[in-house]
Amino acid sequence: MGEDGSRKRLTRAFGMPVGDDQNSKTAGERGPVLLEDVHLLEKLGHFDRERIPERVVHAKGAGAGGYFEVTADVTRYTKAKFLSEIGKRTDVFVRFSTVGGEKGSADSERDPRGFAIKFYTEEGNYDLVGNNTPVFFIRDPMKFPDFIHTQKRNPATNLKDPDAFWDFLSLTPESIHQVTILFSDRGTPATYRNMNGYSSHTYKWYNEEGDHYWVQYHFKTDQGIKNLTREGADVMRSKDPDHATRDLYDAIARGDYPSWTLEMQIMTPEQAKDYRFDILDITKVWPHADFPPVKIGKLVLNRNPANYFAEVEQAAFSPSSLVPGIAASPDKMLQARLFSYHDTHVHRLGPNYHLIPVNAPRNSPEQSYQRDGFMRTDSNGGGGPNYWPNSFDGPGPDISAKEPTFDVSGKAGHHPYSHPNDDFVQPGNLYRDVMTEQDRENLVGNIVSHLGEAKKRIQLRQTALFFKADSDYGRRVATGLGLDAKDVEKLAHMSQEDRAKAT
C-alpha cells in the first residue's frame, strides 16, 4: 500500500501503468489473443527467462548476512585492514550449500557442505570459499571435472551411479581422508548452524614488513557439532528436503543468531620447511598438537535475505577475491580455483556480475578501466578515461597493495605427488584416535550401505584402501560387504597400479 493507504500502481518493466492484469487482449470475447497485448508478451517473455544457469556444483544453498568481529591482535601476521583492530566489525554475506545435488535436491544428502564467506572490507571484497571439511578428495585440479562427473548422474541412465562414484575414488587413493570424513556422520550435518567451516587450503598472510606466514582458517560452530545419522538423514530427505535452509532462516528470524569462532593455525616459513606433511597438500590437515589453533574472531549471522534470488542465488564467491595482507599459496587446487570460480560466474551471471548488489564492493567502490559488456548497469566510467596510463586524473595503482615478491624454482613439468604413502596416515589417525566406537560403527555402516551398491571388484579395490588406512577399518568394511578379508588384505599390499590391474 502507498503512504496514503492506496495500493501502489502496477507497471510494466519501463514504468508504464498496466490497465488489466487478469484478462488477455483478444479479438472478441473468446479470442484469439492479439499480438498487440504487449504487457502479456513482456510478462511471458520475462517468465521464460527466469532461470539462470544452475551452479555446476553447490547448486542447492542457503545464505544470510551478518558481521565478522576481530577478537585478537593479528597485525604481526597480516596487514589486512579488516583484521587490524580488536573489536573491528566487517559486514559479511555467507552461503552454505551441498555440492553434488541439483538446486532442488535434499539438504540432508551425504556430501561436503560449502561454507563461503564474503567480507565487504574497506580494501574491496575478500571471499573465503571453504567447506565443512578440513581436507578435499584430490590435490590436483586436473582431476576436478572427472571427479565431479562421478558424483553427478550417469550419462545414459541419468541416475546417480555408485560404480562411477567408487570407481574414481578407489583409483584415486589420496581421496581416502576426505572419504573417511564424508562417510562419518559429519557427512550429514544436522543443520548448517551445527557444522564447522574450514579454509581447507593453506593461505599466505603477510604483514607491513613483508614477512609472510602460512595459515589455515577454522570457523568453529558456537552451536556445537550435531549430525544426522544415516537413518535420520534418510527420513529427513522425504520429511523436509529443505530442512537446513528452513533451520537457518527460522533461527535468524526468531533472533537466535548463529555464530562461529574463527581459530587460525599459523606457521612460519621456517617451520614449513621440513614439516612432516606437505603444507600445500589439501588432502592433509596440520595436526592441532603441532599448530594449536588460535582464536582471532567471531562470525555472526543476523540478517535473512530479503529476496532469495537477488542475494543467495546471485551471490558469487571466488578465492581470487583477496585483499592486501592475504594471498594465495602455491597449493595447486587453490591456484586453479583462482581461475575457475570467476570463470563460472562470468558464464552464469555475466561479465559484470560484480555490479549485482550482493557482489558489489560496498566499502571500496570499483575504480577500474574495465568497460562495457552485458548488463553494465552503472555509469560505466562515464566520460572518464578508459585506459591507463593517462594524464586525465584517472585512478592509478597503489604500490602498497603489491604482494611481496617470493622465490620460485624447479623444473617445469607434470609432476606427480612425491610421497603418496602418507595418504593413509591421517585417515588412520582419525579412525583410531579421534573417532569413538559409535563413530566407527556408524562410519562402517554408512560406507557399506553406499559402497554395497557398486560392483564387487570396485568394492574390493576401495576396501583395500580402508585397510591401508587401518586394518580394523578395512576388515570391518569387508565383513559388512560380505567380502573375504584375506582378498582385501592381499590387494592392500599391492601397488596402486597392480591393484587397479587386479580389479
- Show which residues are catalytic: 58, 131
CA 186, 191, 196: angle at the middle one, nearest 5?
55
Query: What letter would DSSP give residue 423?
Result: G
Say whether residue 476 binds ligand NDP (CB under 6 A): no
Which region among 5-13, 148-156, 167-175, 286-294 touches ligand NDP (by CB under 6 A)?
A: 286-294
- The answer to whether residue 288 forms part of the interface with ligand NDP (CB under 6 A) is yes
* Binding span for ligand NDP by CB under 6 A among 150-158, 167-175, 344-352, 426-434: 426-434
**Rounded least distance, CB 456 to ligand NDP, Å:** 28
Residue 430 binds ligand NDP (CB under 6 A): yes
Rule CB under 6 A: say whether 299 interacts with ligand NDP: no
Residue listed under C-alpha cell 551471490: 315
Select 81 or 204, whichever has its Cβ closest to ligand NDP: 204
98 close to 57: Cβ distance less than 8 angstroms: no
Q: Contact between 287 and ligand NDP (CB under 6 A)? A: yes
Task: Single out the residue of 113, 62, 116 nearest to residue 92, CA to CA.
Answer: 116
**Cβ-Cβ contacts under 8 Å for 496 (sequence gap 6 or more):** 171, 173, 420
| Residue 134 interacting with ligand NDP (CB under 6 A) | yes
SS3 content of the chain, % helix, strand, coil (to 5): 35, 15, 50
* Per-residue interface string for the shown chain with ligand NDP, residues 315-354, x marking contact by CB under 6 A: ----------------------------------------
Question: Which one of 105, 344, 429, 496 is in contact with ligand NDP (CB under 6 A)?
Answer: 429
Verify binding: residue 435, ligand NDP, rule CB under 6 A: yes
Q: Looking at residues 205 to 224 of the shown chain, list those that interact with ligand NDP (rule: CB under 6 A).
A: 218
Q: How many CA atoms lie within 13 A of 82 on its CB side?
A: 25
- Residues 253-282 vs ligand NDP: string with x where CB under 6 A? ------------------------------
Q: Are 250 and 229 in contact (CB under 8 A)?
A: no
In the complex with ligand NDP, which residue's Cβ is closer, 133 or 503?
133
State which of residues 131, 175, 426, 462 lies at the interface with ligand NDP (CB under 6 A).
Answer: 426
Three-state secondary structure call for residue 296: strand
Out of 439, 472, 487, 489, which residue is the one contacting ligand NDP (CB under 6 A)? 439
Under the binding rule (CB under 6 A), the answer on residue 176 touching ligand NDP is: no
CA neighbor of 92 nearest in space, from 132, 121, 61? 121
For ligand NDP, which is the closer residue by CB, 425 or 485? 425
84 binds ligand NDP (CB under 6 A): no
Query: Residue 255 in contact with residue 300, Cβ under 8 Å?
Result: no
The dihedral through the CA atoms of 395, 404, 277, 335 has a sign that is positive
Do residues 112 and 133 make contact, with C-beta atoms less than 8 angstroms apart?
A: yes
Per the structure block, which three cell numbers stand in for 498?
A: 597392480
Q: How far apart are the first and last CA of the chain?
A: 69
H-type alpha helices, 171-209: 176-182
Stretch that binds ligand NDP, among 36-44, 361-369, 374-382, 422-430 (CB under 6 A): 422-430
Q: Which residues bind to ligand NDP, rule: CB under 6 A?
A: 134, 181, 184, 186, 196, 218, 285-289, 426, 429-430, 434-435, 439
